[in-house]
Amino acid sequence: MSIYDRIGRMVYACPLGALYDMVKISVKLTSRLPIVVVIMLFLLQVFSPRPAIMFSLLVVLSVLGISYFWARQMAGGVTIRRQRRYGWAQVGDIIEERFIMHNDAWLPVLWAEVRDHSNLPGYNASRAIGMGARTTNRWTTEGSCERRGIYTLGPLEILTGDPFGLFQVTIQHNYSETFVVYPPIAALPRLIEPRGLARGAARTNVRSLDLTTNAASVRPYVPGDALNRIHWRSTARRSMPDQEEIFVKEFDLEPSGDLWLILDMNARAHAGEGLESTEEYAVVIAASLANQMLRDNHAVGLVSHAQEPIVIRPAKGHQQLWELLRTLAGIHAVAEVSLGQMLDLVEPIMGRGMSAALITPSADPEWIKGLTNLLRRGIHPTGLLLDASTFGGNGDMKGIMSFLADLGVSAHIIGQGFHFEKITQPRQQRPEYKVLGTGRVIAVHKGVEPDSQWVSVGQNRVSHDDFVQ
């Protein structure tokens, strides 16, 4: 007998099925009136026996017994599983969930109320349902992901009871799971052009005499080439026994440097509400710039300050984009640190020759002082200024534009109503992921069975189907 079979026998031996503190079941009377009636009838029968009183007492006791037995059957036989389709979503996407409810009892579930306590805005998976004896019911729910953020799916609660409504059975599934709604990515015009000193990420067709990070090709050795430029693998592979030849590396000239996204999340600087706010505009611009620059093979990092400092070092690749998007999904304008203070804090970690995109709605000229320090370090900033006055706030960005023009810093003003052309892909073309029992996430290849696209919510939950032999 396997360990799962032994655990399964322990499950059904437990009358209330309290497993691993994840599923809690309780059976309670909905009213004390039946108990009071039984006591009164019993006392009447003792002190003034009558056939009618005895008959009434037996009827009430029979109804209580049947109701309690029915409720206990529901408590031990009703289980539910919750599955989620797709492990992530962007604003505007559809979240799909599937529920599998099983009644293992010999009595039907005449009514059951499934209450979902997820905090995802615009999504409600609660419903009422009835089931026959020893049957399984499946249903799918859908909802729109209206706001970016890190949300929780679950916990889940089932309320049911006997046909007479004397006992209420509460089945609480305390498991929950994090669900990330990433910010949308828009197709932006070319707002910035990263620059660097001698290295970067934009490959050109011009060969460089200096050592850079990208080796383009190899060529035969000529007198005067440095020994550290010899490519030994090509030399060993291309040399013939009767004719040995040495090959050296040729490098591309890389004019563009790494990009830092500096995102101002000072609560006093932002204005507007909901999707039409400077906070949301700033996050969309940061996410879109990150996607744009990473697709151009630039290294992108992020600096911000919300409830705590946020620093993500510049890196390339698709994984860096997801790390940035996950951070941006949960960031909000709650910081008390101004942009000028943040620039002073991040100045030491930014190397020479890098580019920086300052995304801010602040019209306070105090942060210009921090910008001059970046200029002295050889950093090339670009201002992406959100006009808070168009969102119902205060401040005039024309003065900030004048200061930046005097410093030779390019800047753009973005106001409410700026058209973000969202980059979307058909759902079936997006990557699909599956969470293994070890916690590892793997990609689901096309052509797999449809059921493999559904990921169970709450890996530690215990249900009847987990112990079926």
Locate 383 and state its tokens.
Answer: 């201002």
What does the H/E/C string look like for 369-436? HHHHHHHHCCCEEEEEEECHHHHCCCCCHHHHHHHHHHHCCCEEEECCCCCCCECCCCHHHCCCEEEC
CA distance 166 to 64: 8
For residue 467, the model assigns a pLDDT of: 29
CA distance 147 to 135: 38
For residue 200, the model assigns a pLDDT of: 39
Work out the average pLDDT over 337-345. 91
Band of pLDDT at residue 36, cut at 50, 70 and 90: very high
Of residues 460 and 396, which shows the higher confidence score? Answer: 396
Report the CATH architecture of 259-414.
Answer: 3-Layer(aba) Sandwich (3.40)
Q: Is the pTM here over 0.85, yes or no?
A: no
For residue 255, the model assigns a pLDDT of: 41
Superfamily for 3-183+434-467? Immunoglobulins (2.60.40.10)
Question: pLDDT tens, 232-246?
Answer: 888 888 877 777 788
For residue 54, the model assigns a pLDDT of: 94
For residue 254, the model assigns a pLDDT of: 47
CA distance 329 to 327: 5
Work out the average pLDDT over 327-352. 90
Question: Would you say residue 210 has pLDDT above 60?
Answer: no
Please report, as a single letter, which amino acid is at residue 28: K
For residue 346, the model assigns a pLDDT of: 86
Question: pLDDT tens, 149-200?
Answer: 999 998 999 999 999 999 999 999 998 888 999 999 999 888 887 665 444 3
For residue 246, the model assigns a pLDDT of: 87
Of residues 92 and 12, which shows the higher confidence score? Answer: 92
Q: Indicate the domain borders of the chain.
A: 3-183+434-467, 207-252, 259-414
% of the chain at pLDDT higher than 70: 80
CA distance 354 to 356: 7
Question: pLDDT tens, 295-337?
Answer: 988 899 999 999 899 999 999 888 999 999 999 999 999 999 9
What DSSP designation does 201 have? S
CA distance 399 to 314: 31
Locate 345 and state its tokens.
Answer: 């804090």
- The overall average pLDDT reported for the chain is 81
Of residues 251 and 79, which shows the higher confidence score? Answer: 79
Band of pLDDT at residue 350, cut at 50, 70 and 90: confident
Band of pLDDT at residue 57, cut at 50, 70 and 90: very high
Q: In 230-360, where do the E strands start and end?
A: 247-252, 259-263, 272-273, 276-277, 300-305, 309-315, 355-360
Please report, as a single letter, which amino acid is at residue 246: I
What DSSP designation does 70 have? H
CA distance 382 to 408: 10
CA distance 377 to 344: 12
User: Strand 441-443 vs strand 433-435: parallel, antiparallel, or unpaired?
Assistant: antiparallel
Least trusted range by pLDDT, from 265-274, 349-358, 377-386: 349-358
Give the distance, in angstroms, between the CA of residue 382 and the centroid of all CA atoms in the same chain. Answer: 30
